Amino acid sequence: MIEVPLTWQLAKLGLSISMVLGLGAIAVRASPRMAGLLAGYPLGTALALFFIGLEISPQFATQSAVHTLAGFTATMALGAGYWMAGRQPGVKGVIGGVAGGLVAWLAVSTLLAQFNFTRLSGTLVTLCAIALFSGLFRSIADVRIPASRTFSLPALAARAALATVIIFTITSLAHWLPPAWAGTLAAFPVTMLPFLLILHLNHGAAPVATVIKHYPMGLGSLLSYTLCVSYTYSTLGLLWGTLVGFAAATLWLLGWMQLIAWYQRRSA
Instruction: State the amino acid at position 160 in one-letter form.
Output: A
- Which amino acid appears at position 25 of this protein? A
> What are the pLDDT digits (tens) for 101-140?
999 999 999 999 888 899 999 999 999 999 999 999 988 8
pTM of the model: 0.83
pLDDT for residue 151 is more than 60: no
**Residue 169 near residue 24 (C-beta atoms within 8 A):** no
Return the pLDDT at 148: 44
What pLDDT does 27 receive? 54
Q: What φ, ψ does residue 2 adopt, rounded to 5°? A: -75, 135
Q: What is the pLDDT of residues 212-225, one digit of tens each?
A: 998 887 788 899 99
pLDDT more than 70, % of the chain: 81
What was the pLDDT predicted at 203? Answer: 82
End-to-end Cα distance, the chain: 58
- Angle among Cα 97, 101, 103 to the nearest 5 degrees reads 120
For residues 4 and 223, the answer to whether their CB atoms sit within 8 Å is no
Could you report the per-residue pLDDT of 42-65, keeping only the tens digit for each? 878 888 899 899 888 899 999 999
DSSP 142: P
Q: Report d(CA 46, CA 43) in Å as an integer.
A: 5
Residue type, 223: L
Out of 14-28, 196-210, 222-236, the most confident range is 222-236
Q: Per this entry, what is the length of the chain?
A: 268
pLDDT digits (tens, 9 = 90+) for 164-184: 788 888 888 888 888 889 999
92, 204, 263 from 154: Cα distances, Å: 21, 18, 37
CA distance 82 to 212: 9
Cβ(84)–Cβ(200) below 8 Å? no
Determine the Cα angle at 242 with ends 155 and 49, to 5°: 65
Residue 26 has pLDDT above 80, yes or no: no
